[in-house]
Amino acid sequence: MSDSEQSGRNHDEYRNAKGRQRPQARRTSDRARSEQRPAERRRSGDPARRVAWDVLRQVHDNDAYANIAMPKALRDNRISGRDAAFASELAYGTLRMHGLYDRIIEHAAGRGASQIDPAVLDTIRLGAHQLLGMRVPSHAAASETVALAREVNGAGAAGFVNAVLRRVSERTREEWVAEVTAGREPLAALAVEHSHPEWIVRALRGALIGSGAAAAENVDAELRRLLEADNDPADVMLVARPHLATVEELLDEGATPSRLSPFGARMSGGDPGAIRAVRDTRAAVQDEGSQLLALALASVPVEGDQQEWLDLCAGPGGKAALLACLAAEQDSVLFVNEVSEHRTDLVRRTMAAALQSGIEVMIGTGDGRELGAEEPDTYDKVLVDAPCTGLGALRRRPEARWRKSASDVAGLTTLQGELLDSAIAATRPGGVIGYATCSPHTAETTAVVADALKRHPEVVQEDARPYFKDATGKQIPDLGDGPGVQLWPHLHDTDAMFFALLRKQSTSV
Ligand SMILES: C[S@@+](CC[C@H](N)C(=O)[O-])C[C@H]1O[C@@H](n2cnc3c(N)ncnc32)[C@H](O)[C@@H]1O
């Protein structure tokens, strides 16, 4: 990227693009509520359950993301404190677990889930989660959900909801699991019990073995732990961006120190947006795995001063912001590229404090697949945090598992390979490439890297494990057989991030 291209991309084009892109049309989430008659609204008496139902409908009807829809719904309905925590657990837990609940509901209702009106099915799912996944007393779970059904589904549907929930409440969760998994093949049974699509369970099992996190004799126990971790709501992790904020600032706000990242802090409750350092982007929400990846790439030795680093596909910029701060520490500069103008805009917002503090960052929009040909042999370090299925972050995105399909993988691996080719071309001899995914699927991780190594004899893979240190400087355990690193929710309490370290040889082979 030349300076003139940079200034064009950074300022004028950015402003033009921003001017053209109007905000998305407002979601119609409140439609059902506003259509209700006041008398009906009063009868519901439980705004928290209603909010949970609204969020489920937005997710299933409008493809909304629950963790974006929920805070807005809570704000709009002025729900806070324990009620907000209840509504969130109810909606997120239901979204995660409805793979299991639907099988139970089918038994209890005597018909397939697809034969139940989707809005009614969501109400029953909420009731099932209260009965089987939360400590809500049975009578309250049933009566409050039937009241909700009366409000949102109508009196006729409420009778059906009542009958189904009464049957659901007749057995414990363990008894239901035994009932609905009976006769299924072991992985299919595990998929139902832990509410994951079966193709994902198979992919995770393959990844546990492929990365060395499990062997044939213990893989099923490890897989079970992993699936349980996916269903366990993860604490919010924060990063104090170096030189912009301190971990102490976050601890003063009630966070606790993180175990792995020296810049991390853990929040077990509360709203990260209420923290000043987060609001002004000196700190941010960022999984520890992502922090470790950026720290690892920053710490890999590459000869030469005043280096140029590149984040090839950077939106929304979480790793780029950390890398930019770490680059500045080494008197180096980060170049940031992202294909989507909207996401480049997000990168700028993520980077606001870094940019204001004078940290030099060059931000541009372009197809990362072309950048290697445009700027060959240029960068000292290149990060490819590739678009992927996101199977490593299922614990953070309640609905994500149901939105992916096995057929998504092939298209993504082609793009991942092309981005990696371009990153290799853009790296100067002697420089390094960090290839990362937020998925442990071996087709997206080791297979993409192995194929790239076949195409590029000028590149060798190095052991990335020595660069993964905890907050005290000790080697992090259980990183797999190497040379790539695979993190796991059940082993590291991080998202299942993958990282491979490649070095372009100084002389061509
Ligand atoms: C996994 S995300 C990166 C996350 C980012 N590193 C962070 O920590 O915030 C992958 C990004 O790649 C971008 N992308 C997809 N195709 C691309 C391409 N051909 N060139 C550049 N970026 C691309 C996507 O828009 C997305 O923002």
CATH number at residue 317: 3.40.50.150
Query: How high does pLDDT run on average in the chain?
Result: 91
pLDDT at residue 34 above 80? Answer: no
Tell me the residue length of the chain: 509
CB contact at 8 A, 249 and 277: yes
Model ipTM value: 0.99
Give the residue whose CA is nearest to atom 5 of ligand 1.
314
Question: Of 158, 174, 190, which residue is a domain's last?
Answer: 174
With beta carbons less than 8 A apart as the criterion, state whether 1 and 335 touch: yes
pLDDT for the residue numbered 44: 52
62, part of any domain: yes
Residue 17: what pLDDT? Answer: 26
Strands 498-504 and 459-462 come out as antiparallel
Range of the domain at 349: 286-504
Find, among 263, 330, 328, 255, the residue nearest to 293 by Cα. 263
Q: Examine residue 250 and state whether it is found in any structural domain, yes or no.
A: no
- Which ligand 1 atom is the nearest neighbour of the CA of 312? 21
HSE (side-chain half, CA atoms, 13 Å) at 465:
13
Out of 245, 325, 336, 438, pick the active-site residue.
438
**CA 442 / ligand 1 centre spacing (Å):** 19
Residue 212 inside a domain? The answer is no
**What's residue 45's pLDDT?**
56
Q: Provide the pLDDT for residue 419.
A: 98
CA distance 309 to 381: 5
Q: Is the pLDDT of residue 23 over 50?
A: no
Q: Mapping DSSP to helix (H, G, I), strand (E, B) and coil, where does residue 107 land?
A: helix
Q: Using alpha carbons, select from 64, 125, 75 the residue that is nearest to residue 83.
A: 75
Last residue of a domain, one of 145, 174, 203: 174
**Last residue of some domain: 155, 174, 193?**
174
Sign of CA dihedral 166, 170, 171, 172: positive
CATH number at residue 156: 1.10.940.10
Name the residue of 295, 310, 313 whose CB sits within 8 Å of the most ligand 1 atoms, as the mutation to test its pocket.
313
- Active site annotation includes 438: yes
> Lowest-confidence range among 6-20, 53-67, 406-420?
6-20
Rg, the chain, Cα only:
24
Q: Are 245 and 504 a contacting pair, CB within 8 Å? A: no
| pLDDT tens figures, 118-156 | 999 999 999 999 999 998 999 999 999 999 999 999 999
Residues 6 or more apart whose CB falls under 8 angstroms from that of 452 comprise 417, 420, 421, 424, 435, 459, 502
Could you tell me the strand order of the sheet in which 236-240 lies?
256-257, 264-267, 236-240, 283-285
pLDDT digits (tens, 9 = 90+) for 474-500: 999 999 999 999 999 999 999 999 999
Phi, psi of 471 (to 5 degrees): -65, -20
What residues contact residue 278 under an 8 Å CB cut-off, 6+ apart?
238, 272, 284, 285
